């Protein structure tokens, strides 16, 4: 086990208007964090850092450096903090104590709170860490009792120490050798059969979770559709390798392009040349730049699997990722200083970050729709 060197002090509720340098405020979605950064910027103009999972690594490093060297006084961040981000944070405040875990919105587990709170008072930076909840933001309603209780370890471990119960789980995913297939057209039914068997025989243990096959099926569809339109084919080994790519649903079209390139479809090289060109980001907005960074990550993976195919190289993918990271930093600054997230798109009034209309405009819009 690991023993904390710098103690944590509970500081209760802290108003947004009274935050000092070295404060990190935590929320649990990209929009919530960017909206929160916009609110903080009203009080700390130009001195707010922002961290969330969809940021490219280069953008994260820039934001971390700004906070570490004092160019940013406060930082709004998601729970990306709990995954290897080392900030010289003296005070950490929770703006939210619930999160959406992919299935439902739920209270944070004690160990999740403790893991994030542990970023405060990092040993070697500060003698003590301070943890509390943020007040003064209308849409944020954190539970101080939940946070305070989580700061006290309550599970007995060896030698009389106390710690936290972390729910460990294993994830079961299909391997090609499990599927007993020899042709590409056998893949989809074999995946369904594998999942049915896995749920029936292997998921009886609570610690073992059978992964959804839906992401694999989305990627498989993208690859098959692209090959069909290009009138090309690939063998089972290549198809399986491609559907294992680190690609979410938004990246499926790019995966299809890459599959056609592997199959020898020459026009795809022109498409990939445009995707790899950093100049296409010269006028990109924040979401477009974030998407380009994700594409760069996929292209880097592809260059390792299929060196030189379609003109894709690690160097070109890295150049795109660097340009995307710089663009994200620039557009994030613009969004924080002149927010659109957390603002009504009709009248500009403040809203919750996940809303696009204020209550007044929503009601007015609904009234007009009702009359029609």
| Residue range 256-273, pLDDT digits in tens | 999 999 999 999 999 999
Asked if 199 and 330 sit in the same domain, the reply is yes
Q: DSSP code of 128? A: S
Which residue is listed with tokens 């009138």?
231
Spatial distance between the Cα atoms of 60 and 218, rounded to a whole number of angstroms: 29
- The domain boundary, picked from 114, 133, 163, lies at 163
**Between these two residues, 154 and 98, which has the higher pLDDT value?**
98
Say yes or no: 34 and 148 in one domain. Answer: yes
User: Can you give the pLDDT at residue 372?
Assistant: 38
Higher pLDDT residue, 123 or 46? Answer: 46
Give me the chain's average pLDDT, please: 90
Same domain flag for 213 and 269 = yes
pLDDT of residue 225: 98
Torsion sign, CA atoms 266, 301, 319, 274:
positive
Q: How confident is the model at residue 364 (pLDDT cuts 50, 70, 90)?
A: confident
Are 124 and 196 members of one domain?
Answer: no
Q: Could you give the 3-state DSSP secondary structure of residue 299?
A: helix
State whether 354 and 254 are in the same domain: no
Range of the domain at 40: 8-163
Using the 3D structure, point to which of 106, 136, 163 is the last residue of a domain. Answer: 163
184 and 155, same structural domain?
A: no
Segment among 21-35, 194-208, 335-349 with least mean pLDDT: 194-208
Q: Based on the domain organization, do 143 and 249 belong to the same domain?
A: no
Model pLDDT for residues 102-158, shown as the tens digit of each residue: 788 999 998 889 889 988 876 555 568 999 999 999 999 999 999 999 988 666 566
| Burial grade of 259 (CB within 10 A; 0-12, 13-18, 19 or more) | buried
25 assigned to some structural domain? yes
Domains contained in the chain, number: 3
CA atoms within a 13 Å half-sphere pointing along the CA-CB vector of 238: 18
On whether the CB atoms of residues 13 and 132 are closer than 8 A, the answer is: yes
Q: Is the pLDDT of residue 356 over 70?
A: yes
């Amino acid at each position: 086990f690991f023993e904390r060197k710098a103690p944590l002090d509970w500081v209760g509720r802290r108003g947004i208007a009274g935050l000092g340098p070295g404060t990190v405020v935590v929320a649990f979605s990209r929009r919530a964090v960017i909206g929160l950064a916009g609110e903080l910027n009203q009080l700390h103009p130009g001195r707010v850092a922002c961290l969330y999972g969809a940021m490219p690594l280069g953008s994260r490093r820039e934001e971390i450096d700004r906070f570490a060297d004092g160019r940013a006084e406060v930082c709004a961040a998601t729970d990306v903090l709990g995954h290897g981000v080392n900030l010289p944070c003296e005070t950490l405040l929770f703006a939210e104590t619930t999160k959406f875990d992919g299935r439902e919105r739920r209270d944070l587990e004690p160990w999740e709170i403790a893991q994030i709170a542990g970023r405060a008072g990092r040993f070697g930076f500060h003698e003590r860490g301070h943890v509390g909840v943020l007040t003064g933001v209308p849409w944020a309603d954190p539970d101080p009792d939940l946070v305070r209780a989580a700061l006290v370890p309550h599970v007995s471990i060896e030698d009389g120490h106390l710690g936290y119960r972390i729910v460990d789980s294993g994830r079961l995913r299909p391997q090609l050798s499990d599927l007993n297939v020899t042709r590409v057209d056998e893949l989809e039914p074999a995946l369904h059969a594998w999942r049915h068997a896995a749920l029936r025989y292997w998921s009886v243990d609570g610690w073992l979770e059978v992964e959804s096959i839906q992401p694999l099926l989305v990627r498989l569809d993208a690859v098959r559709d692209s090959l069909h339109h290009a009138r090309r084919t690939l063998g089972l080994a290549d198809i399986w390798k491609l559907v294992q790519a680190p690609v979410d649903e938004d990246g499926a079209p790019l995966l299809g392009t890459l599959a056609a390139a592997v199959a020898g479809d020459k026009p795809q090289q022109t498409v990939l040349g445009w995707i790899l060109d950093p100049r296409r980001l010269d006028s990109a907005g924040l979401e477009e730049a974030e998407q380009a960074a994700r594409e760069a990550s996929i292209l880097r993976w592809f260059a390792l699997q299929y060196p030189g195919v379609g003109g894709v190289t690690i160097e070109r993918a890295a150049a795109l990722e660097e340009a995307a990271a710089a663009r994200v930093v620039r557009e994030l600054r613009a969004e924080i200083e002149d927010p659109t997230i957390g603002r009504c798109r009709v009248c500009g009034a403040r809203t919750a970050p996940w809303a696009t209309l204020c209550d007044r405009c929503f009601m007015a819009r609904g009234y007009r729709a009702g009359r029609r």
